[in-house]
Amino acid sequence: MSTFKAPKGTYDLTPPDSAIYLAVREAIAAPLKRSGYGYIETPGFEQVELFSRGVGESTDIVSKEMYTLTTRGGDELALRPEGTASVLRAALEANLHKAGNLPVKLWYSGSYYRYERPQAGRYRHFSQVGAEAIGTEDPALDAELIILAVDAYRSLGLKDFRLLLNSLGDKECRPAYREALQGFLRGLDLDEDTRRRIEINPLRVLDDKREAVQKQLVGAPMLRDHLCEACKAYHEEVRALLTAAGVAFVDDEKLVRGLDYYTRTTFEFVHGGLGSQSAVGGGGRYDGLSEMIGGPALPSVGWALGVDRTVLALKAEGIELDLPAATRVYAVPLGEEARKVVFGLVTELRRAGVATDFAFGGKGLKNAMKSANRSGARFALVAGERDLAEGVVQLKDLESGEQTGVALDAVVRELLAKQG
């Protein structure tokens, strides 16, 4: 055993569990690939200011949870705590918005980092798949992304999840609400950190999970009562499009989420089997973020779905994914001459698309067959000197126990037929 361990709050992905994570990532990405979203990948670290300006200095993410470092050249960098700001920065830097085909639709997958108190479903290193649609203000785009997330969850077999939906207004109607909310919050018995937050972004106080704070928020002014007519109409169209697509949702007037850049549509997916860490993903519209980080006006919308949380949700519902076996055929040579011939067959099978493994280390038949069974293979391909002299190999079905001789030049064709 190594003297080193994974850092506190992180985890290693190893087989067989890693196959589940890969399947979840692929399931989330599949609806995006079918809907015109192209893949984008960004660095694991960015300038600190990208997140302090984009995510918001008053957020816990920036003020308490970012991993920051100073380079030898004096640059202040941060491990990325979320994906949207990085993706938008990359899109702007590459001038994707100038190609003339808006919205720019992108999806990504990767690891993100926040210094949090580790607990089930909350890690300091976590995995997400995200999607962003940049440069267009359209309720149908908001609805599209929400529907794609729902379709991804359903494709995995998840049922015990709910969609929470809200509107945060825009620059026209939010100032009046901000003033009304600040007036209410200033009269409450709150700690100094929370009082500072009232002056920077009072909506963040509504997202405070502490019971002592939530009790005092009873009777707080609601944003829905301050939405302008344009925001009301926009939100109603999103709701109507979701309903028409058969997507159920719960209107949650207190839903704010933990990032400052959201405007209008905001949403969250929660799962009933995850306890206090119930959120499995979420997102919303962020029409002003591009300008916050020095770009042009580019109204945009996006989401990020937690891979770790989704895996926990699958376990909570007792869902076992139907994963393809890592090995279809396990090849066992008996003797030095057979080793060369069988290794050549293994290479042919792999190139033909048949998942094949080889009994490395010169194992005897008994140990090799134990390895074949442990590998999960369906077939064992066995050959000794006598078999080769007759121009055949033995193909054994590890489920039925049936064994047949197959001509050397027919092995690939036979296994491809059985695979099909």
pLDDT tops 70 at residue 170: yes
Pair (251, 340) in one structural domain:
no
Task: Select, from the ranges 68-77, 92-101, 240-249, the one with the highest average predicted confidence (pLDDT).
Answer: 240-249
Q: Please list the residues that pair with 130 across neighbouring strands.
A: 108, 304
> Are 305 and 376 in the same domain?
no
Does residue 255 fall inside a structural domain? yes
Residues 306 and 385 grouped into a single domain: no
Which residue, of 286, 316, 346, is where some domain finishes? 316
Q: Which of 80-84, 256-260, 350-354 has the lowest mean pLDDT?
A: 256-260
What is the 8-class DSSP label of residue 37? P
- Is 257 part of any known ligand binding site? yes
177 falls in which pLDDT band (50, 70, 90)? confident
pLDDT at residue 404, as a whole number: 92
pLDDT at 1: 67
Among the three residues 294, 316, 338, which one is the final residue of a domain in this structure?
316
Q: Are residues 361 and 257 in the same domain?
A: no
DSSP label of 181: H
**Same domain for 247 and 340?**
no
Beta bridge partners of 392: 407
For the stretch 353-382, pLDDT in tens is 999 999 998 888 999 999 999 988 999 999
Residue 202 lies in a domain: no
Residue 356's pLDDT is: 95
Lowest mean pLDDT among 219-228, 389-398, 401-410: 219-228
Mean pLDDT throughout 325-345? Answer: 92
Q: Which of 257, 255, 260, 268 is nearest to 293 (CA)?
A: 260
My answer on whether 306 and 333 are in the same domain is: no
- Tell me: pLDDT of 121 over 80: no
Mean pLDDT of 208-226: 85
Whether residue 184 lies inside any domain: the answer is no
Whether residue 200 is contained in a domain is answered as no
112 is in an annotated binding site: no
The pLDDT confidence band at residue 58, using thresholds 50, 70 and 90, is low
123 is in an annotated binding site: no
**What is the span of the domain harbouring residue 126?**
17-173+227-316
Please, are residues 28 and 56 in contact by the beta-carbon 8 Å criterion? Answer: no
pLDDT confidence band for 413 (50 / 70 / 90): very high
For residue 71, say whether it is annotated as part of any ligand binding site: no
Angle of helix 17-33 versus helix 307-316 axis, rounded to 10: 110
Mean pLDDT of the chain: 91
Tell me: do 264 and 336 sit in the same domain. Answer: no
Q: Classify residue 2: in a domain, yes or no.
A: no
Strand ranges across the sheet with 379-384: 356-358, 329-334, 379-384, 392-397, 403-407
* 261 annotated as a binding-site residue: yes
Q: Does residue 290 sit within a domain? A: yes
Provide the edge-to-edge strand list for the sheet that holds 76-79. Answer: 45-47, 76-79, 68-70
- Strands lying side by side in the sheet with 300-306: 38-39, 104-113, 125-134, 300-306, 279-285, 263-271, 161-167, 250-251
Q: Where are the beta strands (DSSP E) in 80-122?
A: 104-113
pLDDT of residue 367: 92
Same domain, 138 and 266: yes
Torsion of CA 151, 156, 161, 166, to 10 degrees: -30
Asked if residue 166 and residue 65 are part of one domain, the reply reads: yes
Q: What is the mean pLDDT of residues 280-288?
A: 94
Task: Tell me whether residue 199 is in a domain.
Answer: no
CB 342 within 8 A of CB 365: no
Full-model pTM:
0.89
Phi, psi (degrees; rounded to nearest 5) at 403: -130, 135
Whose CA is closest to 283, among 254, 313, 305? 305
Q: What is the CATH number of the domain that holds 88?
A: 3.30.930.10
Residue 371 sits in a domain whose CATH number is 3.40.50.800
**288 with 410, same domain?**
no
Q: Residue 56 above 80 pLDDT?
A: no
Domains held by the chain: number = 2
**Which domain-ending residue is among 282, 316, 350?**
316
60 and 165 inside one domain: yes
Does the residue 205 lie in any domain?
A: no
Q: Is the pLDDT of residue 240 over 90?
A: yes
Assess whether 338 and 415 both reside in one domain. Answer: yes
